[in-house]
Amino acid sequence: MFLKELQEIWMSKNEAKIYETVLELGESSVSDIAKKSWIHRRNIYDTMTRLTEKWVIFSIFWWKENTYAAAEPHKLQEMLQEKQQTFEKILPYLVDMRSKEPPKEAAFIYKWLEWYKNYMRDLANVAEDCYFLWAKWNWMTPWVPRELEESFQRMMKLKWKKIQIIFDPRVKVRKDIQDSTSWEFRFLPDWYETPGIVDVFGDHVVTFKSAWIWNFWEVGTIFVMVNAQLAESYRTWFKFIWDSCEKK
């Protein structure tokens, strides 16, 4: 019934199925569990070993055949809290380890709402001059939580040095957008509108698709490239386009 949720927490598919089966049946033999879960007995023995090590299933010893029972479900919550506490203890050290040796080049993909959050964290954490090409003012997308957007705006004002924006020509019809920013910006000519966007900041080059103004789709993909020389090349191209574009 809750196999997907249990797997997302920390169980394998067989572990989740067996845990649910024992929880439903109560004290059970391997034979009972096999009939109910449709899992081969041999796999049940292997899985039971892992579940007993995690203390969510415990054995009851009998002279003829051992049986198994499920621990109180609140035990799962306690274990997750303990894991969270353990992770919080080592998190500062993990961050310190990564900051000492940042990757010189990388390429990865962000998807869905989580990619959007990661993208904005990258912008804030890199804290370098930013150049936005074919910008469509997607930070104001309606489905983005307002508290997330407001937090992002505060970080921008605190950390960033210089921001230049070259807007998609369709932004010109949105006077409210033009009035909402004090950053330096220009417009592409009317015949150069595209669904693509390119953001360059620090050693990051980020490309993604947004067909509409002020409304980035919730279903989307962002491609991130991290390379200092590549980012510098994009900045040079940006400056060439900037010098050729209509001023505010």
Which pLDDT score, from 0 to 100, does residue 107 have?
86
pLDDT mean over 194-220: 77
CA 141 to chain centre: 18
Which pLDDT score, from 0 to 100, does residue 234 have?
96
Q: Which residue has the higher pLDDT, 104 or 159?
A: 104
Give the residue carrying structure tokens 């040095």. 161
Q: Is the pTM of this model over 0.75?
A: no
In SS3 terms, 49-113 reads as HHHHHCCCEEEECCCCCCEEEECCCHHHHHHHHHHHHHHHHHHHHHHHHHHHCCCCEEEEEEEHH
Element (H, E) at 233: helix 228-244
Is 231 in a helix, a strand, or coil? helix
Contact 149, 140 (CB under 8 A): yes
pLDDT mean over 229-234: 94
Structure tokens at 88: 């919080």
What's the pLDDT tens digit per position in 11-52?
Answer: 777 777 777 787 777 777 777 777 777 777 777 777 877 777
Q: Cα–Cα distance between 173 and 157 in angstroms, integer? A: 26
All structural domains of the chain? 3-76 (1.10.10.10), 104-247 (3.30.870.10)
Q: Which residue has the higher pLDDT, 59 or 173?
A: 59
Q: Cα–Cα distance between 208 and 102 in angstroms, integer? A: 24
Which pLDDT score, from 0 to 100, does residue 160 have?
62
Structure tokens at 49: 């070993």
What's the pLDDT tens digit per position in 113-134?
Answer: 666 777 777 877 777 888 999 8
pLDDT mean over 140-169: 71
Q: Cα–Cα distance between 72 and 54 in angstroms, integer? A: 13
pLDDT mean over 167-181: 70
